[in-house]
């Protein structure tokens, strides 16, 4: 009987140790880090300690992730509350830029809208008043980019190279390495006509990467969509 057959036998016949309890006391196992021998009980205790340490590490990691998610959720909540109080487009865009640039530390934020609010620069923009911020949001967007945004099922996160929206950041676009593109839809991320695109960009290559979670980006997109439609619709 080889070692594998012995192991299988003991696993399938646990009553063996009931009938031969003295074996447990007599079995000696080589120490993994020395010449000394351990009893079976000591060896089992060491294995359990290792498992406990591994579980403690996993628990600490889960707690850290939970705390990070709580912090992000609070930031998203504050953004939502701020957007609820907006009454015009320039204020809504300013809030998006302030919160995303501040609480979320996103260095570059851009919004483009089409097919809503007349899809043209509001008259107040030409006067340099409070609508000045809004003018940029109605600048022409290529049909190819509109089609791309409309085809996004989830927000895009990844490299900035080759992305048309990089041009929205002017001279800073030359230094942008990663971005997130969030489609703005009439019914949020659940569907509806796409009427705009929210873009978050960074000079850091790994700030937005393909495998990152997009749940909070989706929620931000939902809130931004609702707020922007309300003030321009």
Beta carbons of 218 and 189 less than 8 angstroms apart: yes
Query: Which pLDDT score, from 0 to 100, does residue 125 have?
Result: 43
Question: 194 in helix, strand or coil?
Answer: strand
Question: 175 in helix, strand or coil?
Answer: helix
Query: Which pLDDT score, from 0 to 100, does residue 190 have?
Result: 67
Across 67-95, average pLDDT: 93
If one compares 41 and 184, the residue with the highest pLDDT of the two is 184
For residue range 85-120, what is the model confidence (pLDDT) as tens digits?
999 999 999 999 999 999 999 999 999 999 886 544
For residue range 41-61, what is the model confidence (pLDDT) as tens digits?
666 777 788 888 889 999 999
Across 141-145, average pLDDT: 95
Q: Which of 43-52, 130-139, 151-160 has the highest mean pLDDT?
A: 151-160
Going by pLDDT thresholds of 50, 70 and 90, the confidence category of residue 132 is: very low
Tally Cβ neighbours within 10 Å of residue 117: 18
DSSP 11-55: HH-TTHHHHTHHHHHH-EEE-TTSS-EEEHHHHHHHHHHHHHHHH
Query: Which pLDDT score, from 0 to 100, does residue 40 have?
Result: 60
Across 175-194, average pLDDT: 89
Report the interhelical angle of 89-102 vs 40-84 (nearest 10°): 150
Domains and CATH numbers, the chain: 3-53 (no CATH), 85-232 (3.30.450.40)
Query: Which pLDDT score, from 0 to 100, does residue 16 have?
Result: 74
């Amino acid at each position: 009987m080889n070692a594998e057959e012995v192991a299988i036998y003991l696993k399938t016949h646990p009553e063996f140790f009931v009938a031969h309890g003295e074996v447990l006391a007599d079995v000696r196992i080589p120490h993994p880090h020395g010449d000394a021998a351990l009893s079976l009980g000591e060896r089992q205790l060491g294995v359990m300690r290792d498992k406990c340490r591994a579980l403690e590490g996993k628990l600490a990691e889960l707690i850290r992730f939970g705390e990070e998610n709580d912090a992000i959720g609070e930031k998203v909540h504050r953004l939502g509350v701020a957007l609820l109080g907006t009454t015009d487009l320039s204020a809504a865009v300013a809030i998006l830029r302030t919160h995303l640039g501040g609480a979320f530390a996103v260095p570059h934020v851009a919004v483009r809208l089409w097919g809503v609010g007349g899809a043209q620069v509001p008259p107040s923009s030409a006067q340099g008043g409070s609508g000045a911020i809004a003018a940029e949001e109605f600048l022409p967007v290529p049909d190819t980019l509109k089609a791309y945004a409309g085809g996004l099922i989830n927000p895009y996160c990844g490299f900035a190279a080759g992305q048309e929206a990089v041009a929205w950041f002017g001279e800073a676009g030359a230094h942008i390495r990663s971005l997130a593109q969030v489609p703005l839809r009439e019914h949020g991320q659940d569907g509806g006509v796409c009427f705009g695109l929210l873009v978050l960009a960074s000079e850091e290559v790994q700030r937005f990467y393909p495998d990152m979670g997009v749940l909070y980006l989706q929620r931000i997109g939902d809130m931004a969509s609702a707020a922007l439609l309300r003030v321009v619709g």
